[in-house]
Each structure stands twice: as C-alpha cells, then as structure tokens.
Amino acid sequence: MRVIARKPLLQFSIAHPDAKAGLDAWYHEARAAAWKSSADIKARYRSASLINKRRVVFNIRGNKFRLVADINYPVGIVYIRFIGTHEEYGRIDVENI
C-alpha cells in the first residue's frame, strides 16, 4: 500500500515519543500490505474499528493513540486522516475528518 503521507506520523512521534515505535511498526506493515478489503485489515488487526467501507481506526500502543485512515483499496492508497491521543480522538467526527 502507498501511505499518504508519512510526515504527520513523524511529526506526531516528535510530540509523543512513546508513540514512535507503534507508528513506525504500523507504517512499515501498511507499506508492505496488499489490503483488498476491510476484511483483510480485520484479519490482521482485530482491534481495528471499521467505520465505513473506507474508513478504519487503528489502535496504536495499546489504544493510547488512535490513527484514522481512509483507504482506497482498488488503487492501494492509505490516506492518514488523523493521529491523536485517545482523548483527542473522542473530540472528532471520525467519519468526516
């Protein structure tokens, strides 16, 4: 998969160093993945939340952080829509961010 963009992950890791290892692992796994549907994601990430056909919430570092991605399965692109703490996640509209 092509992840758009890595810069927000790196910036968040600077502000939250304890998220770095989890975000790095997620990024490398996403880049190596060939997800064709949300079922592929659930098979690998049982704790991921499927919001709709394209929107997925990944738990990072034991659910301390949340990453919201919009995934275009046919073309293999993952768009990072949000990265934040669990508390920050609670204040967003996950379907429209």
Taking the CA atoms of residue 7, residue 33, residue 76 and residue 71 in that order, the dihedral angle to the nearest 10 degrees is -70
Q: Is residue 24 in a domain?
A: yes
Q: Render 8-21 in DSSP notation, one character per residue.
A: HHHHHHHH-GGGHH
What's the pLDDT score for residue 29?
96
Based on the structure, what is the number of domains in the chain? 1
Position 63 scores a pLDDT of 87
| DSSP type of residue 3 | E
* Structural domain contains residue 97: no
Write out pLDDT tens, residues 19-69.
Answer: 999 999 999 999 999 999 999 999 999 999 999 999 999 999 988 999 999
**Would you say residue 13 has pLDDT above 90?**
yes
Q: Is residue 95 part of a domain?
A: no
User: What number is the average pLDDT over the span 1-28?
Assistant: 96
- Are 2 and 74 within 8 A, CB to CB? no
* Residue range of the domain that includes 52: 2-89
